[in-house]
Amino acid sequence: MPHLVIEYSDNLRPFPEAQVLEAVNASLTSSPEILAESDLKSRFATAERFAIGTQPAGRAFVHAQLRLLSGRTPEAKQDLAGRVGAVLREHTPRPAGVMVQLSVEIVDMDRASYVKEKL
Amino acid sequence: MPHLVIEYSDNLRPFPEAQVLEAVNASLTSSPEILAESDLKSRFATAERFAIGTQPAGRAFVHAQLRLLSGRTPEAKQDLAGRVGAVLREHTPRPAGVMVQLSVEIVDMDRASYVKEKL
Amino acid sequence: MPHLVIEYSDNLRPFPEAQVLEAVNASLTSSPEILAESDLKSRFATAERFAIGTQPAGRAFVHAQLRLLSGRTPEAKQDLAGRVGAVLREHTPRPAGVMVQLSVEIVDMDRASYVKEKL
ipTM at complex level: 0.95
Residue-wise DSSP of A62-101: EEEEEEEES---HHHHHHHHHHHHHHHHHHS---TT-EEE
Beta-carbon separation of B119 and C102 below 8 A? yes
C89 phi and psi, to 5 degrees?
Answer: -60, -40
pLDDT at position C56: 79
Residues with Cβ within 8 Å of A27's Cβ and at least 6 positions away in sequence, in order, are A83, A84, A86, A87
User: Which residues face B117 on adjacent strands?
Assistant: C102
User: Which whole-number Å values give the CA distances from A104 to A53, B85, C36, C66, C116, in the listed order?
Assistant: 19, 29, 19, 16, 7
Q: Between C9, C53, C59, which is nearest B29 by CB?
A: C53
Return the residue in B28, B52, B65 with the most chain A beta carbons within 10 A, the one to mutate for interface testing.
Answer: B52
**Three-class secondary structure of residue C19 per DSSP:** helix
Q: Between A49, A81, A84, which is nearest C17 by CB?
A: A49
Residues with Cβ within 8 Å of A31's Cβ and at least 6 positions away in sequence, in order, are A76, A79, A80, A83
| Chains touching A (3+ CB pairs < 8 Å) | B, C
pLDDT tens over chain C, length 119 residues? 799 999 999 999 999 999 999 999 999 999 999 999 999 999 999 999 999 999 978 999 999 999 999 999 999 999 999 999 999 999 999 999 999 999 999 999 999 999 999 99
Cut 0.90: pTM above it: yes
Residue B105 forms contact with A (CB below 8 Å):
yes
Residue C3 forms contact with A (CB below 8 Å):
yes
**Three-class secondary structure of residue B96 per DSSP:** coil
Residue type at position C47: A
User: Average pLDDT, stretch A70-88?
Assistant: 97
Per-residue pLDDT tens for B46-70?
999 999 999 978 999 999 999 999 9
Residue A37 forms contact with B (CB below 8 Å):
yes
Residue C15 forms contact with B (CB below 8 Å):
no
